[in-house]
């Protein structure tokens, strides 16, 4: 995997942080150690919201730090938003104006009008859940994921700012999505801890020009060590992935 495909997930669970680290200091150390190797960073909102106001502050300051440390580096807010009317407008403002995220993950279940406030930010990327990596995905998504992909390609991507989230744990599904959406960017979680195979994702996930792919890795990298050299261990883990 080249650095062009690596999205590093800062799922900085407070209970797993090395001794003496806060979410912010931990994130800053990881970013300092890996920003020259990563193509993007993704922050899962849950790990920050669970810490209340200090977690939200850590989330906001981490995004600002990434932009300062590596200008132009995309930061994805993994919030899986999607609601009606004014609610979505406020969520979009929170993502793109308050947090200054470059992209967000969105839930398509409520339809286009729920996502339109996000889509209207033409310079931001909207990664729409299509076929996720968790075991329960098959309960509903197997009947819907191709419809979601077609809807995004044919109707929702008018501003050319849509992407799809497709898990690394289902290669058949990934291949089918790529057939429908040969040019959309894909965000692919599930490599590493969840069992997705990197070689298979690289084989089937690239777009028609050989790019258009972000492979997310998180826990297996950021928590590679709980010792003082946790940032160095994370960097080494990233280098191992890049060399595969």
129-169: pLDDT as tens digits = 999 988 898 899 999 999 999 999 999 999 999 999 999 87
- What's the confidence (pLDDT) of residue 195? 56
220 lies in a domain?
yes
- The token pair at 83 is 């609601």
Chain length of the chain: 244
What is the rounded CA–CA span in Å between residue 82 and residue 128?
A: 10
244 lies in a domain?
no
pTM beyond 0.85: the answer is yes
Query: Can 42 be counted among the known catalytic residues?
Result: no
What is the rounded CA–CA span in Å between residue 204 and residue 206?
A: 6
Catalytic option among 60, 61, 80, 176: 80
Degrees, nearest 5: CA angle 73-153-102: 20
Collapsing DSSP to helix, strand or coil, 134 comes out as: coil
CATH number, domain with residue 222: 3.20.20.70
Residue 209: pLDDT band (50, 70, 90) is: confident
The answer on pLDDT for 21 being more than 70 is yes
- What's the confidence (pLDDT) of residue 106? 98
Degrees, nearest 5: CA angle 118-97-24: 115
By percentage, how much of the chain surpasses pLDDT 70?
A: 96
The answer on pLDDT for 192 being more than 80 is no
15 lies in a domain?
yes
- What's the confidence (pLDDT) of residue 198? 76
Total domains, the chain: 1
Taking residue 226's Cβ as centre, other Cβ atoms within 10 Å add up to: 12
77 lies in a domain?
yes
79 lies in a domain?
yes
- The token pair at 198 is 């990197």
Range of the domain at 185: 3-239
């Amino acid at each position: 995997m080249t650095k062009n495909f690596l999205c590093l997930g800062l799922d900085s669970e407070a209970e797993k942080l090395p001794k003496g680290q806060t979410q912010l200091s931990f994130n800053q150390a990881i970013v300092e150690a890996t920003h020259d190797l990563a193509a993007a960073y993704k922050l899962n909102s849950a790990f920050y919201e669970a810490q209340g106001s200090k977690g939200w502050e850590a989330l906001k300051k981490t995004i600002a730090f990434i932009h300062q440390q590596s200008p132009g580096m995309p930061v994805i807010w993994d919030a899986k938003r999607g609601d009606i009317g004014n609610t979505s407008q406020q969520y979009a403002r929170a993502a793109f104006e308050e947090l200054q995220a470059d992209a967000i993950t969105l839930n398509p279940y409520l339809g286009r009008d729920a996502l339109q406030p996000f889509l209207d930010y033409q310079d931001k990327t909207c990664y729409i859940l299509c076929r996720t990596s968790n075991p329960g995905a098959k309960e509903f998504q197997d009947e819907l994921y191709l419809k979601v992909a077609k809807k995004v390609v044919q109707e929702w991507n008018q501003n050319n700012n849509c992407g799809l989230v497709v898990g690394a744990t289902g290669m058949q599904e990934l291949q089918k999505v790529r057939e429908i959406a040969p040019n959309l960017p894909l965000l692919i979680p599930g490599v590493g801890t969840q069992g997705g195979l990197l070689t298979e994702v690289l084989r089937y996930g690239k777009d028609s020009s050989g790019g258009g792919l972000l492979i997310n890795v998180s826990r297996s990298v950021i928590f590679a060590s709980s010792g003082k050299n946790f940032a160095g261990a994370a960097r080494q883990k990233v280098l191992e992935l890049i060399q595969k």
